[in-house]
Chain A
Amino acid sequence: MARMKFLCDADRCIECNACVTACKNEHEVPWGINRRRVVTINDGKPGERSVSMACMHCTDAPCASVCPVNCFYTTADAVVLHSKDLCIGCGYCFYACPFGAPQYPKTGNFGSRGKMDKCTYCAGGPEADNTAAELDKYGRNRLAEGKLPLCAEMCSTKALLAGDGDIIASIYKERVAKRGYGSGAWGWKVAYKETIAI
Chain B
Amino acid sequence: MSIKKSEAPDGAGQSRRNFLRAGLGGATVAAATAGVAIAPAKASENDAEKKKARYQETAHVKKFYQTNRY
User: In the complex, are the beta carbons of A127 and B45 less than 8 A apart?
Assistant: yes
In the complex, whether B54 has a CB less than 8 A from a CB of chain A is: yes
Cα separation A129 to B58 with both chains bound (whole Å): 18
Residues of B within 8 A of A79 (CB): 54
Q: How far is the CB of A22 from chain B (nearest CB, A)?
A: 14
Mask of B28-70 contacts with A, CB within 8 angstroms, 1/0: 0000000000000001110000111111111011001101111
Partner of B52, one of A75, A147, A163, A167: A75
Residues of A within 8 A of B52 (CB): 75-76
* Cβ-Cβ contact count across A and B, 8 Å cutoff: 72
Of the four ranges (under 10, 10 to 19, 20 to 34, 35 or more), the interface on chain B belongs to 20 to 34
Partner of B54, one of A127, A144, A158, A167: A144
In the complex, whether A93 has a CB less than 8 A from a CB of chain B is: no
Mask of A66-82 contacts with B, CB within 8 angstroms, 1/0: 00000001111101010
Please, could you name 29 A-B residue pairs with CB atoms under 8 Å apart, sorted by A? A4-B55, A73-B51, A75-B50, A75-B52, A75-B53, A75-B54, A76-B51, A76-B53, A77-B53, A79-B54, A81-B50, A123-B54, A127-B43, A127-B44, A127-B45, A128-B44, A129-B45, A133-B43, A144-B54, A147-B58, A152-B64, A158-B68, A163-B55, A163-B64, A163-B65, A164-B57, A167-B65, A168-B68, A171-B65
9 A-B pairs with least C-beta separation: A146-B58, A76-B53, A143-B54, A77-B53, A77-B55, A126-B50, A146-B56, A144-B54, A133-B43
Q: Which residues of A are interface residues toward B (Cβ below 8 A)?
A: 1-2, 4, 73-77, 79, 81, 85, 123, 125-129, 131, 133-134, 141, 143-144, 146-148, 152-153, 158, 161, 163-164, 167-168, 171, 174
